[in-house]
Structure 1
Amino acid sequence: METESNNTATQKLPLQGAGGARALLANVKGDRWIWLIVIMLSVISTLAVYSSIGTLAYTKGVGVESILAKHVFMIVLGIGLMYVSHRLDYRYYAGISKLLMIITIPLLAYTLFFGSNINHASRWIPIPGTGLGFQTSDLAKLALITYLARILSRKQENIKDVKESFIPIMGSVCLVFALIGPANLSTGLMLFGVSILLLIMGRISVKQISVVCLIGAVLLAGMLFLGSRRATHISRVKAFFHPELADQDKLFQGNHAKIAIATGGFFGKGPGRSTERNYLPEAFSDEIFAIIVEEYGLFGGIVVISIYLFLLYRCIKIVTKAPKAFGALLAAGLSFSLTIQAFANMAVAVGLGPVTGVPLPLISMGGTSILFTSIAFGIILSVSRDIDEPKKVMVGEIREA
């Protein structure tokens, strides 16, 4: 009798575990295709980072496995944050956006003047006791997009009022750009471009948008000709347009990225067989797309491009079906930010743009970049929940009737 009861208890344990897994999956809401995209990008990231961190591990004097373990931990933590953020009703992010902006502006100012200076750029704030750095521009992207979505959705009745609507919008966009641009011009320009797209969607007049663009152009000119990194910015632009006149050191990264892509062929050299990873200084981050193409060929590159295009397609569907203006603007801004960043990174890798420090979302190795990208995905999923759940309620009401 005791043996039978023990067997019964043993049989119940797997069932209880399966029930817990089913309960967890039942709480996963939103667009299932976006969840699948996140999983696919995470798998690609793990493979590509593992293949490209050999030189980094040697330089730091640690094993490749320890760096990979930290990267996988950040991916898992990011998926956890995405799960939490997608469970929160997206309407709460309207209130959170004000708090984020209040925190972000002082942090950006502190980073610009007192942040860690790496590669002649002050972009990070060290986190005491962790050995990690916090890149404040990642928080700024999330804060500004949610804040603009909030203002544009709430000020539609007097959207053309200069004092009530235009000045707060123009001030927030230009201030964030002015604080990010001097140290991270590429990120600042992309965020400024996404902001302009949101202003167009939010029915801001052409005249007012032109004023914002004019002020942005003045700020850009100041950063290019008066900023502390003006020499770096100008040399990169000159190297892109006139490579024959540029110093070969300035072309080193771009040339080896092109070699990696050119030698990849259609199906690539195979996983872990990259040779250019030993030469590219940021093979695991800025130039990771070149490593993917080298190892998986043109086919692998097309797969990655298709995933980001499909992400944009799913997000556009969410934007068009969102019942509230805030949700539509929020999903649009975040999706534009992710996809523009992705294609900017890939364009640099194939030589279609000057060298920048923009990572490939959810694929490049990183800390705060992965975490805030995951939160952005979670917010988009939260907006998509608002589309799916009303349908389920309506179906339930019909059945009850």
Structure 2
Amino acid sequence: MKKILDRTKGDRWIWLIVILLSILSLMAIYSSTGTIAYKNDKSAEQYLVKHLVMIVGGLALMYFSHLLDYRYYAGISKVLMVITIPLLLYTLIFGNHVNDASRWVTIPVINQTFQTSDLAKLALITFLARTLTRKQENIKDVNKAFIPIMGSVCIVFILIALANLSTALMLFGVSILLLIVGRISIRQILIVCLAGMVLLTGVILLGSRRQTYISRVQAFIHPEKADPDKSFQANQSKIAIATGGILGKGPGNSTQRNFLPHPYSDFVFAVIVEEWGLVGGLVLVLLYLVFLYRCVLIVTHSPKAFGALLAAGLSFSLTIQAFANMAVAVGLGPVTGVPLPLVSMGGTSILFTSVAFGIILSVSRDIEEKKGLDVPEKKPAAGNRNKIIVGEIPAMG
């Protein structure tokens, strides 16, 4: 154990945030799985143990991911993209259908399902960070830089959006932020946004889930006119939050967990606020804000463009997802199926999220090691595109 702790590097605040989120997750999942355990003739402890195994597995993946030099993820991103696009296609055609959506595939032998969009998020962000870094000398060139970047973003967006529009929109937003950070011209970014709007319109009008999207938006805009079944989840979530008060009902005392369809995943934030009150909700919000702040520091101190873009993209993705989940719970957005990172009960989603945290910590570890050596960075040669200093890219404000 001492050897593991000695080799644990990177931002200590992020490690602390991960541990706190994991502990909070275990308490919330144990409390919110009573109803589903009863329906499935199981005990809540069985779900807790399963979730604990995934948390421990995620921490292990995060540890090994942070030990790997983040530069290796540039090469890994190419492999991930080659795997991701066919896998997304396979999921759409042969994946497990739940609520008219095909988002999951079953892993042979272990019989464990996983959501392919989780892998796609990791693949696209790392690939964009790599491409933007390598194409800096030709960043304004349409054929050499813009088309490959736009193509990867639009292909992944449409393949995810057909089954999971909310995740696709968030990933598209993160991609746009990375393009801005990566010095893509405003005109080209507007073209990407226009292409995204065209694809989005096509998904809504021609996709098999168009009625679901339209009904959710209508229920959000006009809840008084909505079908009670369509607004049921949102209403139960609001009741949970409203009855939580300042200090909450206490751990394990949630009542709305018996009515919310997914109190352990999509609406786990509502259960946390009901049991821990406004104070517990604010603490959770603060943890994600501190995480984002620490990532901003990592981005601004990273000596290489790839590390800065990698940390920026992954941190944007995680925090946007977190606040999207909490916004839905408090009624600030239409209902989506977006989980709360490291808190919602999940299988492989926890593992992919943990890898994302580990990659950010790998960038942070590299910064620490360079500071420890106290050796000034040499300015790269003009022809070396892989060693562009962050000063050449306005990574963050």
2 CA distance for matches of 1:96 and 1:175? 19
Q: 2:86 aligns with which of 77, 100, 106?
A: 106
1 CA distance for matches of 2:138 and 2:211? 44
Letter of the 2:152 partner, please give it. S
Give the 5 Å matches for 1:59-78.
59-78=39-58
- Deviation string 1:211-250 (CA, Å, 9 cap, x unpaired) is 1000100010011111000000000000000112110000
Shift of 1:320: 0.3
The reply to whether residue 152 of structure 1 matches residue 132 of structure 2 is yes
Q: 2:116 aligns with which of 136, 155, 158?
A: 136
Shift of 1:124: 0.1
Structure 2, unaligned stretches of length 5 or more?
A: 376-397
Letter of the 1:152 partner, please give it. L
2 CA distance for matches of 1:128 and 1:156? 41
Q: 1:266 aligns with which of 246, 254, 262?
A: 246
Q: Determine helix, strand or coil for the equivalent of 1:117.
A: strand
Which residue of structure 2 aligns with residue 181 of structure 1? Answer: 161
Shift of 1:27: 0.3
Q: 1:42 aligns with which of 18, 22, 37?
A: 22
Q: 2:178 aligns with which of 173, 177, 198?
A: 198
2 CA distance for matches of 1:56 and 1:171? 42
Letter of the 1:306 partner, please give it. L
Q: 1:30 aligns with which of 10, 16, 20?
A: 10
Shift of 1:368: 1.3
1 CA distance for matches of 2:126 and 2:367? 19
Letter of the 1:106 partner, please give it. P
Q: 2:202 aligns with which of 217, 222, 226?
A: 222
**Percent same amino acid among aligned pairs?**
71
Number of residues paired by the alignment?
375
Which residue of structure 2 aligns with residue 337 of structure 1? Answer: 317
Rg larger in 1 or in 2? 1
Shift of 1:31: 0.5
Q: 2:150 aligns with which of 152, 167, 170?
A: 170
Which residue of structure 1 aligns with residue 107 of structure 2? Answer: 127
Letter of the 1:327 partner, please give it. G
CA RMSD of aligned residues (A): 0.8
Shift of 1:130: 3.0
The reply to whether residue 301 of structure 1 matches residue 273 of structure 2 is no
Q: TM-score, normalised by structure 1?
A: 0.93
1 CA distance for matches of 2:64 and 2:368? 18
Shift of 1:110: 0.6
Q: 2:371 aligns with which of 374, 378, 391?
A: 391
2 CA distance for matches of 1:298 and 1:390? 41
Which residue of structure 2 aligns with residue 17 of structure 1? Answer: none
Give the 5 Å matches for 1:242-261.
242-261=222-241
Q: 2:327 aligns with which of 342, 347, 350?
A: 347
Q: TM-score, normalised by structure 2?
A: 0.94
1 CA distance for matches of 2:110 and 2:329? 31
Which residue of structure 1 aligns with residue 394 of structure 2? Answer: none
2 CA distance for matches of 1:132 and 1:252? 30
1 CA distance for matches of 2:128 and 2:374? 32
